[in-house]
Amino acid sequence: MFESSVIEIDGVFIGIVFQDGPDEPYTFRAMHERVTQMDGDILPTYEDAVARARTRFRLGRGRPARGMDTTRRYA
């Protein structure tokens, strides 16, 4: 690991961002349930990682996408 940084949003520790080398992209590791969907994401810059994590954290997990039923049910 070449460089790593903690990400806190609104005083809450949500994850870390690390870089394996000076010319390598940044990898995000989630530590909070609101950003688990981002775990393992690879981003080009530290600023991109923080901005994306901030957005995801503030939006929350939300509702999962609803799948379409392939069959109709009649009562």
Residue 35 belongs to a domain: yes
| Cβ atoms 31, 13 nearer than 8 A | yes
pTM, to two decimals: 0.73
- pLDDT at residue number 60: 76
Assess if residue 66 is contained within a domain.
Answer: no
Is residue 47 in some structural domain?
yes
Domain around 55:
3-59
| Total domains, the chain | 1
> pLDDT band for position 71 (50/70/90)?
low
Residue 28 CB neighbours (<10 A): 23
Residue 16 lies in a domain: yes
